Amino acid sequence: EHIITHPLIADWTGWVVPDFDAALEVVGFVLGPYVGLHDGEQILHFAEFGVVMLLFVIGLELRPIR
């Protein structure tokens, strides 16, 4: 979610709110039980997907040296 929201906010506003990560974590912690994320296995799948997306974005930013 951070990988998607940070570039969108940066494109729309020209800057990224520094505490945006912390705010998203707090919102996720508070709303998680209410949106059906009770099972640790479900949370693990979301976390793994987030890591994959992070690595994908990092890969897009790298320039291979030849």
CA distances from 56 to 43, 50, 62, 66 (A): 20, 10, 10, 21
User: Do the domain assignments include residue 34?
Assistant: yes
Token duo for residue 1: 């979610």
Give 20's pLDDT tier (boundaries 50, 70, 90): low
Total structural domains within the chain: 1
User: Do the domain assignments include residue 15?
Assistant: yes
Whether this prediction's pTM lies above 0.75 is answered by: no
Average pLDDT, the chain: 71
User: Do the domain assignments include residue 66?
Assistant: no
Owning domain of residue 23: 2-61
Q: Which of 8-12, 24-28, 32-36, 56-60 has the highest mean pLDDT?
A: 56-60
